[in-house]
Amino acid sequence: MLILIVQIPATAIVLSRLFKALNRHFPLEPHRPTPDLLGMVSVVVPTLNEAARISPCLSGLSRQSYEVREILVVDSNSTDGTGEMVQTTAQRDPRFRLITDDPLPADWVGRPWALHTGFLHSSPKSEWVLGVDADTQPSPALAATLVKTAIAQGYDLISLSCQFILKYPGELWLQPALLITLIYRFGPPDTHPTSPERVMANGQCFLCRRSVLEAMNGYTSAKGSFCDDVTLARHVAARGYKVGFLDGANLLKVRMYDGFRDTWEGWGRSLDLKDASSVAQLWGDLGLLLAVQGLPLPILVLSLGCWRFLPLSNPLVLILLGLNLFWLTVRFALCGAITSAYDLSVAQGKWIFWLSPLADPLAVVRLFISASRKPTQWRGRVYP
């Protein structure tokens, strides 16, 4: 009865979010640039020792058309040759400019500091500022599509969900389970949150009007956040600006982490979004995840092991088993629903992706661990 008291309301809440997917739009289709977009966008790429994975990003950005005025790569004193790669690209495309940011202030996190530095160095003639992560692979139509969509739909800030490139078995198993935690908490992209506290964003591709960033004093409202994208987007939404989180699977791919351990430590560290949430919202969301994602599999496994001793004549037991079987079934069905969010062309053992529901309890545990501690290391930096 205690479990049902938690699971039944959680079921109603999460199902209401999933049903919103029935009204969501399809992934954005690439748009061709038009002359009215000339020089509208400044791109900012924060880097720190990204030499092993930045080449596809530089290549994709160099193929953006005349809507991109400049591409500022803000490097935090990389020691692996990242800067040299950017300078080589700049010889072929003069829009690229390498900037080394100042030493990190004590109250800033490295990524928002680099983005803030890029914003301050960008041309005031650009009406839009586009933040792009170094591990992304942008489509040639990325910037034009974003700006056209923002203008047509009246957005002041747009970020995109992307298509994840998965390769190794461990990440094929764990990563989709971590992604589902976001869908259960906030629904799919492009489902229009009811309040700024429910706004989602993805800093891997983050387009904002220059005038809005100027009004927000750049990235200072997210300076101490390890999920600066969501923090800034929620501050912007709270000011009354229109914020969108759209499906960009056709415009952007990303290769984030290699293998199980890298995925567990890297993505799991910031996925709780505690720096952008109130304490009540954070732990309310985690309780919700525990109820509908963390508990169903253990409850069903335990029930199978104790089948002979279950009081099946008790209707509460039957309701409990039926509800948890329902959620496990939904979770396997969601594997099919999220396939467009993944590029499995180089995956080793693609079938493992379909077993990701078995990693759900572990994904929920990871978020509880992350929510209870502050990161001390992030992207090569150590924080006190």
Domains and CATH numbers, the chain: 2-21+278-342+351-373 (no CATH), 24-275 (3.90.550.10)
User: Which pLDDT does position 305 carry in this prediction?
Assistant: 85
Spatial separation of the C-alpha atoms in residues 279 and 275, rounded to whole Å: 9
DSSP 240: T
User: Which pLDDT does position 23 carry in this prediction?
Assistant: 74
Spatial separation of the C-alpha atoms in residues 234 and 222, rounded to whole Å: 10
Please report, in tens digits, the pLDDT of each residue of the chain (384 residues total).
899 999 999 999 999 999 887 777 788 999 999 999 999 999 999 999 999 999 999 999 999 999 999 999 999 999 999 999 999 999 999 999 999 999 999 999 999 999 999 999 999 999 999 999 999 999 999 999 999 999 999 999 999 999 999 999 999 999 999 999 999 999 888 877 879 999 999 999 999 999 999 999 999 999 999 999 999 999 999 999 999 999 999 999 999 999 999 999 988 778 999 999 999 999 999 999 999 999 999 999 999 888 888 887 889 989 999 999 999 999 999 999 999 999 999 999 999 999 999 999 999 999 999 999 888 777 778 887
Q: Tell me if 141 sits within 8 A of 32, measured CB to CB.
A: yes
322-326 CB contacts, 8 Å cutoff, 24+ apart: 323/4, 323/7, 323/8, 323/11, 324/7, 324/295, 324/296, 324/299, 324/300, 325/296, 325/300
Q: Tell me if 47 sits within 8 A of 54, measured CB to CB.
A: yes
User: Which pLDDT does position 245 carry in this prediction?
Assistant: 95
